[in-house]
Amino acid sequence: MTYTKLDRDHTSIKIDVDSSSIQSPAITTGSGRVRLAVTTDTHIEFGANPTATVNSLLLPINTVEVFEFRSGEKIACIRHASTNGKLCITPVD
């Protein structure tokens, strides 16, 4: 079984997912990974100044996924359909 070691203080960032692209603040991660969990179908984009669109990577509702990530960058998100939700971002240590 594989385990994910979360940041020591388990600080998660919660972002509202709705009809416009929304950016997270810059995220610092020691391992170069982030854990993402979504409560609605969500498109995501990584970068220094990202904008999520309906053509960005889709995370289906109730997905939890770990991604390689460049520390200091941001994550943008936008909903896929008409249901708003949350994106929870947790840096992995």
Q: In the chain, where are the structural domains located?
A: 13-92
44-65 pLDDT, tens digit per residue, is: 999 999 999 999 999 999 999 9
- Residues 1-56: pLDDT tens digits? 555 665 566 689 999 999 999 999 999 988 899 999 999 999 999 999 999 999 99
For domain 13-92, give its CATH number from 3.40.50.300, 3.40.30.10, 3.30.530.80, 2.60.120.10.
2.60.120.10
Q: The pTM is what?
A: 0.89
Residue 2, burial from CB neighbour count under 10 angstroms (0-12, 13-18, 19+): exposed
What is the pLDDT confidence band of residue 80, given thresholds at 50, 70 and 90?
A: very high
Question: Which pLDDT belongs to residue 8?
Answer: 61
